[in-house]
């Protein structure tokens, strides 16, 4: 069923788990991710990122996502990931999304606050949940993403969210989700992961009325993700490790085939692998050991 992210987050907080937020840029991903959420029996958000617009325009993606969300047996929020300008976000709102991220994290704090408040004034009364970001998410995407350069990953602390800024931002905007930078990266994590849990807990204690978000779950060991959940993370964006999972298997199938390979067969194989990987990730987000 189609759901409001703010309500999902309340339940996640009460029961110490996290809402996984997964991009579904095609129908294979969409079907696999929703089937996985139904298997694990956990609410999720499905995302369309603004930078995916060249790949699948939002006018095509969102109606499809809404249709699948409505037919699902678990609550699903249809979400704009990394909305970068108001025009795109308003288009998404008219299409019927139930939550949006407005990412003005590259602006100085005061301007970030002003922009997010402007959006809340426009859409707050529609019951649309709002996510924003303070701090910087370093980028290590496997492919070049338009407008995003790879970041220097030698010292992740330079990207960290300032706790005081997070507090000021939440007090002045009242956003539903604040995404913070505390050691994760966009794309695949490389090297020895080291989430800064004390920083997360400090920010959590300063922002008691806001749910905290973590982007870049891929490559972070599951026990560190669960530590982050138990320390207050309520929304986890997770995509690269799910989306890259089918490729090695598909390559093997193609290489070992005697003749032409049907695309529908490859699509079915990919869907099964995305499903299995997503089930695994959602069980981590469900955090059942900590809830028992």
What is the rounded CA–CA span in Å between residue 106 and residue 108?
7
Q: Which residue is nearest to Zn ion (CB)?
A: 215
> In angstroms, what is the minimal distance from the CB of 42 to Zn ion?
20
Alpha-carbon 265 to chain mean position = 29
Instruction: Give 214-217's long-range contacts (Cβ < 8 A, gap of 24+).
Output: 214/18, 214/179, 214/180, 214/182, 214/184, 215/133, 215/137, 215/179, 215/184, 215/186, 216/137, 216/184, 216/185, 216/186, 216/187, 216/189, 217/20, 217/184, 217/241, 217/281
Interatomic CA distance for residues 61 and 48, integer angstroms: 7
Does the annotation mark 67 as catalytic? no
Per-residue x/- track, 201-240, Zn ion (CB under 5 A): --------------x-------------------------
Considering only residues 94 through 153, tell me which ones interact with Zn ion, judged by CB under 5 A: none
**163 touches 183 (CB < 8 A):** no
User: Rounded to the nearest whole angstrom, what is the least distance from the CB of residue 257 to Zn ion in the complex?
Assistant: 37
| Shortest separation between residue 244's beta carbon and Zn ion, angstroms | 16
Contact between 48 and Zn ion (CB under 5 A)?
A: no
**Burial (CB count <10 Å: 0-12, 13-18, 19+), residue 267:** middle
**What's the min distance (Å) between Cβ of 164 and Zn ion?**
23
Residue placing its CB nearer to Zn ion in the complex, 23 or 202: 23
Size of the site for Zn ion (CB under 5 A): 1
Choice between 16 and 148, CB closer to Zn ion: 148
Q: Which is nearer to Zn ion, 29 or 72 (CB)?
A: 29
> Which residue lies nearer to Zn ion by CB, 72 or 183?
183
Q: Which of 81, 103, 176, 243 is catalytic?
A: 81
Residues lying near Zn ion in the complex (CB under 5 A) are found at 215
So which residues are the catalytic ones? 81
């Amino acid at each position: 069923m189609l759901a409001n992210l703010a309500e999902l987050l309340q339940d996640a907080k009460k029961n110490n788990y996290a809402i996984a937020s997964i991009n579904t840029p095609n129908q294979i991903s969409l079907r696999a991710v929703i089937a996985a959420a139904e298997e694990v029996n956990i609410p999720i958000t499905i995302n369309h990122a603004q930078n995916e617009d060249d790949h699948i325009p939002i006018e095509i993606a969102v109606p499809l996502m809404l249709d699948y969300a409505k037919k699902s047996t678990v609550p699903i929020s249809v979400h704009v990931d990394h909305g970068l300008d108001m025009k795109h976000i308003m288009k998404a709102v008219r299409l019927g999304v139930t939550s949006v991220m407005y990412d003005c994290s590259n602006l100085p704090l005061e301007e970030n606050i002003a922009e997010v408040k402007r959006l809340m004034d426009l859409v707050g009364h529609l019951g649309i949940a709002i996510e924003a970001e303070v701090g910087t998410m370093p980028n290590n995407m496997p492919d070049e993403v338009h407008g995003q350069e790879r970041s220097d990953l030698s010292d992740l602390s330079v990207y960290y969210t300032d706790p005081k800024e997070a507090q000021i931002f939440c007090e002045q905007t009242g956003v539903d989700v604040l995404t913070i930078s505390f050691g994760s990266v966009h794309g695949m994590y490389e090297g020895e992961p080291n989430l800064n849990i004390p920083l997360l807990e400090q920010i959590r204690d300063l922002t008691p009325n806001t749910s905290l978000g973590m982007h870049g779950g891929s490559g972070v060991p599951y026990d560190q993700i669960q530590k982050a959940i138990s320390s207050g993370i309520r929304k986890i964006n997770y995509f690269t490790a799910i989306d890259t999972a089918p490729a090695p298997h598909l390559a093997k199938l193609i290489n070992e085939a005697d003749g032409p390979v049907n695309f529908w067969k490859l699509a079915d194989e990919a869907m099964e692998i995305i499903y299995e990987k997503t089930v695994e990730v959602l069980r981590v987000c469900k955090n059942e050991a900590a809830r028992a």
